[in-house]
Structure 1
Amino acid sequence: MAKDADAFRTIGELSGQLGVAQHILRYWETRFPQLQPLTRAGNRRYYRPEDVALVERINRLLNEDGYTIRGVQKVLAGKTEERGSAPAKPETGAVRLPPDLLAELKTLRSNLADALAE
């Protein structure tokens, strides 16, 4: 049974939904002050729908559009415009990979994760 779209998500549910490890979500909370899920007893995190949307955006910018953490921080702070699927200005030292190579690396990462899970 699926949850309602307005229901809060636990960190485990959000992690499974996005395919991002829980420790990465907790790390993002330290890097992006806009991301502040509700915390209850025992530091249990509950992500509101707006938190889920923000995490999805952060995930897309980092893992699909090729932004760095600092680049995403600038986009979220409004200091840099988000343009389509490419950052406005690549950061010094940042490497932009061709889309076909990026897709191949993601496939390789997925295969390695599957192998490690076995």
Structure 2
Amino acid sequence: MPAQSGTKGPGAKDPSAFRTIGEVSAELGVAQHILRYWESRFPQLKPLQRAGNRRYYRPEDVELVRRIHSLLSHQGYTVRGVQQLLKDKAPLPEPTEPDEDLVSALKRVRADLVDAIGGD
């Protein structure tokens, strides 16, 4: 098959290509078992499963995983909160990067609380 021209580098996948759970895990920095857990908690997330239960994430699955990851990790939602957003079919907030000032402040508050209760 002749090489296709385009802006993709060697080994880069087309944006419309299906991705394995390992590829999605590596891209987002989320463990594979967490992605499988999310599949059990969010019925909207249904990657294709082939022989041997191998998962293939479609582009829309990958986008949903990105949104779920952002809501849980960066925007402070709980699993239940994200479930409610998806159930209500409300438009999901856009993914965001964590605010470093907020992260630092939260770490200081956590450290103060740990000191106050005498934990680790």
TM-score (norm. length: structure 2) = 0.69
Structure 1 distance, partners of 2:93, 2:12, is 33
Larger mean CA deviation between 70-79 and 39-48 belongs to 70-79
Q: Does 1:43 align with 2:53?
A: yes
* Residue deviations 1:27-83 (CA, integer Å, cap 9, x gap): 000000000000000000000000000000000000000100000000111276756
Gapped regions of structure 2 (runs ≥ 5): 1-10, 96-100, 109-120
Q: Percent identity?
A: 62
Structure 2 distance, partners of 1:100, 1:71, is 20
Structure 2 distance, partners of 1:83, 1:49, is 18
Structure 1 distance, partners of 2:79, 2:61, is 18
Cα root mean square deviation, aligned: 2.5
Gapped regions of structure 1 (runs ≥ 5): 86-97, 106-118
Q: Which has the larger radius of gyration?
A: 2
Q: Runs (4+) of structure 1 moved beyond 2 Å? A: 79-85, 100-105
Query: What is the aligned partner in structure 2 of residue 74 from structure 1?
Result: 84
Structure 2 distance, partners of 1:17, 1:23, is 15
Q: CA separation of 1:40/1:78 partners in 2, compared to 1, >3 Å: closer, same or farther?
A: same
Query: What is the aligned partner in structure 2 of residue 100 from structure 1?
Result: 103
TM-score (norm. length: structure 1) = 0.70
Query: What is the aligned partner in structure 1 of residue 32 from structure 2?
Result: 22
